[in-house]
Amino acid sequence: MKLADLTKPWEALSYGFLDASAKREMRRKMLKSIAVPGCQMPYASREVPMARGWGTGGLQVSLTLVNPRTRVKVIDQGADDSVNAASIRRFIARVAGTPTTMDTLEAGLIQSRHRVPEEILRDDQVLVLQVPNPEPLRSVQPNMSIARQMHADADYGRMWLQLYEQIVRSGRVMQGASYPSLVHGRHVMTPSPIPRWDVPKQHMARHLTILSAGREKRIFAVPPFTRVEPLVFSDVPYKVEDHGDLTCTRSGTRGYFMNEIPQNDGTSAYEVSDSEWGVKTIRAAEDGGETRGETWYKDGKMS
């Protein structure tokens, strides 16, 4: 062993901001989280130049995975142009020299907050979801040591009880986002605060999904072709939001997840949440060039 073997050339800043040991830890934990789908793995969660809770977990995963050929897309609630998404995209491009895109079909790596894109992801794409609260049991068990034991025992009775109470009190399941889902028939996970609309997209998908909570220091994953089943009672079917009949006021696209925009007269206008889908729809109407890919939902129904 020579001294030269143990050193490396000086760099002003590590490629991709994270230092090599941080990346190695992320790599080890990502492998384990893929091996046990839906199981929360603790990790160190290093400092990144962004406040915890703003996507630091997802950012660390992205920074570990990228190389100068990875085309990066970042979305926040479906939009590529919101402040948080634009800042993260620019940061990754700056520290890792990656090309960026807004087109879902062009992207190699998609970091997302609260949405899964409408176009079907391929097996060469990775979806990184930012997770604020990775523990689905927190609402029924605030003590995380006990919650961990419940995961170990697959003791999810209280999750069912919570859903039952919602149905009894309100007549329907009140869980709007982060709908608890059983992964590979073993671990209940939160799919991150994606709407109910997006949960079926995770089931037997072709792409790898990595979910990372930077503030809570936990990472979990849904490998391709993995069962992701929202918890439901056999006589109360799983329902996605009633957006199948809504039309986007800006692009005219219909049958996708919409943002509701309250109007002065008390009514609501809707615009498609996946902003790039809306842009592509407008472009297709203007010049007839079709750039839209296949979508998970067709005519407002999951296919």
Partner 1 sequence: MLAAPEPSPDPSLSETDANQTFDALIWALSRPGIPRGLPAAGEARIIRALLDRECRAYSADPLILPEIMRTGAQIAEIDAADHVFLGALQDLAPLDRIALGSDLYPDDGATVVLRGQIGQGPGLRLSGPGIESTLTVQIGGLPSGFWQKRRALIRYPMGFEIFILDGAAVIGIPRSTDIEVL
> Residue numbers of the site for partner 1 (CB under 8 A)?
1, 5-6, 8-9, 11-17, 20-21, 23-25, 27-37, 39, 41-42, 64-68, 94-97, 123, 148-149, 152-153, 184, 186-187, 204, 208, 223-227
Closest CB to partner 1 among 29 and 46?
29
Least CB distance to partner 1 at residue 137 (A): 14
Residue type, 111: Q
Do residues 230 and 179 make contact, with C-beta atoms less than 8 angstroms apart?
yes
- Bridge-based pairing of strands 187-189 and 181-183 is antiparallel
Single-letter amino acid code for the residue at 280: K
**Beta carbon of residue 301, minimum distance to partner 1 (angstroms, whole number):** 22
Rounded CA-CA distance 79/276 in Å is 7
Strand locations in 43-82 (E) = 72-76
Nearest to 293 by CA among 245, 252, 241, 256: 256
Q: Are 274 and 257 contacting, i.e. CB atoms less than 8 angstroms apart? A: yes
Least Å distance, CB 29 to partner 1, is 7
Identity of the residue, 37 or 57, whose beta carbon is nearer to partner 1 in the bound complex: 37
- Please give the DSSP secondary-structure letter assigned to residue 177: B
Cβ distance to partner 1 smaller for residue 109 or 248: 109
Residue placing its CB nearer to partner 1 in the complex, 52 or 148: 148
CB of 184 to partner 1, least distance (A): 5
Cβ–Cβ under 8 Å, residues 92 and 121: no
Question: In whole angstroms, how close is the CB of 52 to partner 1 at the nearest point?
Answer: 21
- Shortest Cβ 13–partner 1 spacing (Å): 5
In the bound state with partner 1, the residue whose beta carbon lies nearer, of 103 and 155, is 155
Least Å from the CB of residue 119 to partner 1: 20
Secondary structure, 3-state, 7-32 = CCCCCCCCCCCCCHHHHHHHHHHHHH
All residues at 6 or more sequence positions from 230 whose CB lies less than 8 Å from its CB, including other chains:
179, 180, 181, 182, 196, 199, 200, 238
Instruction: Give Cα separations from 164 to 136, 169, 187 (angstroms).
Output: 16, 9, 20
Closest CB to partner 1 among residues 182, 272: 182
